[in-house]
Amino acid sequence: MKVVGFAGYSGSGKTTLLERVIPALRQRGLRVSVVKHAHHRFDIDHPGKDSWRHRQAGAFEVVVASEHRLALMREYEQPYRLSVHQMLAELYDGVDWVLVEGFKESDLLKIEVWRQATDDFKGHPVRYPEDDFIVAIATDVSADRLPEPT
């Protein structure tokens, strides 16, 4: 499997870019997986459902599967940060591409997403001059209009 990261500040357009890259790869007959970093707590389960009840009862892992979808939920008693490489090891090895959203500090080859058009974005430095793992930049400005590296 080939792996490429998409790194940038919140609101930079990483998800929007992936929404375009994924169908382009799929149209070429390629199987695509995504690994997404979350800075906050999240839950994909629903209170009262069997899987939620299993977790509430103390199950370390719950897998919910149908003919069309599989979800694995793992509960850590203490905060535990998986590395992006550990997450990649969990994926099905029959995929052609894994697109990694976030993990801007990782040692994966990645594309920096930097967008001046977002007001929240003004003043954020570009990362590519200090990050040897950034191989390209996706931006809404010409290269001569990128902010100066800090």
Query: Is residue 110 a contact partner of residue 7, using CB atoms and an 8 Å limit?
Result: yes
Task: Evaluate whether residue 66 is within a structural domain.
Answer: no
Task: Evaluate whether residue 93 is within a structural domain.
Answer: yes
Instruction: Domain count for the chain, please give it.
Output: 1
Residue 114, domain extent: 2-42+78-145
> Hunting for tokens 């974005």 — which residue is that?
121
pLDDT in tens, 94-146: 999 999 998 989 999 999 998 877 645 566 778 888 899 999 999 888 877 77
Task: Evaluate whether residue 68 is within a structural domain.
Answer: no
CA distance linking residue 2 with residue 97, whole number of Å: 5
CATH number of the domain within which 32 lies: 3.40.50.300
Specify the 3-state DSSP secondary structure of 7: strand
The model's pTM is 0.86
Task: Evaluate whether residue 62 is within a structural domain.
Answer: no
Q: Which of 95, 139, 72 is nearest to 2 (CA)?
A: 95
Helices and strands in the chain, H and E counts: 3, 7
Task: Evaluate whether residue 11 is within a structural domain.
Answer: yes
Task: Evaluate whether residue 55 is within a structural domain.
Answer: no
